[in-house]
C-alpha cells in the first residue's frame, strides 16, 4: 500500500441504510457465485485519539437470497447462521489505515454464530465531500474467510465428487456514511 494519508476524517459518521450493503458470495457447485445480502445492517465510523474505528452489525434474520424459501430457512438454521441463537453478525476494527489515492487496509474482529475471529479487509475510501444532500464519505471493503472457522461445516458432495458449497466466502461491504449530528438517536 502507498503512504498513509493525512487523516481527513473527524467526528462520527453513520452508514446510511440506502445504498449501503453488507453482502457475501460463495462458490456453488464449483460453477457460479451464490450471493446473499443482509439489508438490515448498521455501521459507525469514529475518529478519536486512538485513530479510526469502524463498528458494524447486521441482522441475520434479514438475509435475502435469490433462491427458494427452503434455502433461506436452511441458511437461518443451525447448519449455517443459527439466527435464533445468534441474531447478529458483528464487526469492530482494531486498525484502519487510509492510504493516498483512496486505498485502505483494515484489521479487526468478526463475530458470526458467537465465534470471533480476526479478519483483514482491503478496499477504498473517498471523501469526505459535499453532495447534494450533505457531507458524505464512502468506504468499500472486501475480505475473504473460511466459513469453517465460524462453524459453517455443512457440506454435500456433488455427483462428480466436488463440494456443493465452497469453503471460502467473500464479504463485500459498501458504506455511504454521513456525519452524526448531535441528538441523532443511535440505531
- Examine residue 128 and say whether the peptide bond preceding it is cis (omega within 30 degrees of 0): yes
43 neighbors 58 (Cβ within 8 angstroms): no
Cα–Cα distance for residue pair 111/57, rounded to 1 Å = 9
Q: How far is CA 114 from CA 85, 110, 171, in A?
A: 9, 10, 18
pLDDT tens, N- to C-terminus, the chain (187 residues): 444 444 578 899 999 988 899 999 999 888 889 899 999 999 999 998 888 999 999 999 999 887 767 788 888 989 898 999 999 999 999 999 998 889 999 999 999 999 999 999 999 999 888 988 889 999 999 999 999 999 989 998 889 888 888 999 999 999 999 998 755 444 4
Burial string for 92-128 (b: 16+ CB within 10 Å, else e) reads ebeebebbeeebbbbebebbbbeeeeebebebebebb
- How much is the pTM? 0.85
- Report, in angstroms and rounded to the nearest whole number, the Rg of the chain calculated over CA atoms: 18
Domain boundaries, the chain: 11-179
Cell of 113: 454464530
Q: How many residues does the structure list for the chain?
A: 187
CATH fold, domain 11-179, is Lipocalin (2.40.128)
Amino acid at each position: 500500500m502507498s503512504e498513509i494519508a493525512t487523516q481527513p476524517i473527524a467526528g462520527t459518521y453513520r452508514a446510511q441504510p440506502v445504498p449501503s450493503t453488507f453482502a457475501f458470495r460463495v462458490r456453488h457447485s464449483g460453477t457460479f457465485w451464490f450471493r446473499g445480502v443482509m439489508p438490515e445492517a448498521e455501521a459507525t465510523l469514529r475518529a478519536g485519539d486512538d485513530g479510526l474505528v469502524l463498528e458494524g452489525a447486521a441482522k441475520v434474520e434479514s438475509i435475502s437470497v435469490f433462491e427458494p424459501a427452503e434455502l433461506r430457512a436452511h441458511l437461518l438454521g443451525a447448519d449455517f447462521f443459527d439466527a435464533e441463537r445468534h441474531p447478529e453478525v458483528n464487526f469492530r476494527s482494531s486498525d484502519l489505515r487510509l492510504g493516498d489515492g483512496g486505498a485502505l487496509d483494515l484489521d479487526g474482529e468478526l463475530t458470526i454464530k458467537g465465534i470471533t475471529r480476526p479478519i483483514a479487509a482491503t478496499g477504498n475510501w473517498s471523501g469526505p465531500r459535499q453532495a447534494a444532500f450533505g457531507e458524505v464519505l464512502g468506504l468499500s471493503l472486501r475480505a475473504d474467510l473460511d466459513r469453517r472457522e465460524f462453524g459453517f461445516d455443512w457440506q454435500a458432495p456433488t455427483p462428480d465428487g466436488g463440494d456443493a458449497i465452497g469453503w471460502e466466502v467473500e464479504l463485500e461491504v459498501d458504506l455511504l456514511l454521513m456525519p452524526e449530528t448531535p441528538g441523532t438517536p443511535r440505531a
